[in-house]
Each structure stands twice: as structure tokens, then as C-alpha cells.
Amino acid sequence: MEDKKPGRTTAIVAYFTIVGSLIAMSMNSEPRHPFARFHTRQAFGLHVCFLGFSLFLSVWFNQYAWYGLYIAYITLWFYGFLAAIGYREQLVPLVGTYFQKWFKFIP
């Protein structure tokens, strides 16, 4: 069964860890789909922010901050992932516009 919506598979792959985002970047190199590019930027931004905050919290340990980080990450991840499945270009709340600006290098 073929996917009738271009870039949808690439967009979904981008949400599976940071490795999935890197794979999605290479999948979208030829041909380039704007929908896949949008979601790759969103997913890559989520993963990079999560890893950055995790490194910070590993030095400055606060159990409740970890809870907040995981709740925020999982909530935003589901929001973006469901938008990719539904073939919608919805920005991730609060940080989605920044991800689109910061990660313009993503093809």
C-alpha cells in the first residue's frame, strides 16, 4: 500500500528519537517535501532540547524538575507526532516557531 501523502512517512520517522530525526533528514534530501521538512525541524528541536535539559539536570539534580521535563517532553512529542500522523502542519506549542527559525539548515 502506497502512502498518497508525500513526506508523511519521513515526518513520522523524525519523531522516533534523535536518530530518527537524523534518518528523516537523509530521507528528505531527495525529493524534498515541505511537510517532512516542517516535522523534522519540530522533532529535531524537541529531541535536542530534551537532551540539553537532561544534561543540565544531570548536574543540578532536582527530582521534580525531572518530572516536569518528562511531562513536557512527552506532551509536546505526542502533540507533534499526532499532527504528523494526521498530515497537519501544527507548530508544537510554545517552542515550535523557534524550532522553525533555528533549524533552517534542515533540508
- Could you report the per-residue pLDDT of 41-93, keeping only the tens digit for each? 999 999 999 999 999 988 887 888 899 999 999 999 999 999 999 999 999 99
> What does the domain layout of the chain look like in residue ranges?
8-102
Checking if the pLDDT of 28 tops 90, the result is no
pLDDT at res. 1: 45
pLDDT at res. 3: 57
- Is pTM beyond 0.85 here? yes
Q: Are residues 106 and 18 in contact, defined by beta-carbon separation less than 8 angstroms?
A: no
pLDDT at res. 46: 95
User: By 3-state DSSP, what share of the chain in percent is helix, strand and coil, each rounded to 5?
Assistant: 70, 0, 30
